[in-house]
Amino acid sequence: MILRRIVPNLNVDNATTGHDFYEEFLGLRKEFDMGWIASFRSPTNPSVQVSLVSGDATGPEQSLLSVHVGDVDAAYAEAQRRGYEIVHPLTHEPWGVRRFFVRDPHGIVVNIVGHAD
């Protein structure tokens, strides 16, 4: 599996607040803000990223981690082959990504996502 980046998803009450901390204090650039999720990335090191999540638009649970992969279909097939619990099936989301949620052996929900590059 080719990993492009791993992003912590901070579960917060309101993903539309506190942006100045990440932008002004930490010096991150806001990559996107969809109301329920806002993501901030380093302008000099794109692998440094953090997201604020106050709910998920389509997933049944919030994830604690987003793992961006080169081939999300292959990752989905491998998760199924290994018998991991699929929390949210492989879905093409309205905002342009393909993703699924899988539960790790500790019960943590991980968002596996592929972007059209």
Q: Note the pLDDT tens digit of each residue in 53-81.
A: 998 888 889 999 999 999 999 999 999 99
Reported as a single tens digit per residue, the pLDDT across 8-23 is 999 999 999 999 999 9
| Residue-number span of the structural domain to which 76 is assigned | 3-115
The structural domain count of the chain equals 1
Residue pLDDT, tens place only, 76-100:
999 999 999 999 999 999 888 999 9
CA dihedral over 11, 15, 18, 22, signed as positive or negative: positive
Beta bridge partners of 109: 103
SS3 of the chain: helix, strand, coil, percent, to 5: 15, 45, 45
Q: Rounded to two decimals, what is the model's pTM?
A: 0.86
77: domain CATH number?
Answer: 3.10.180.10
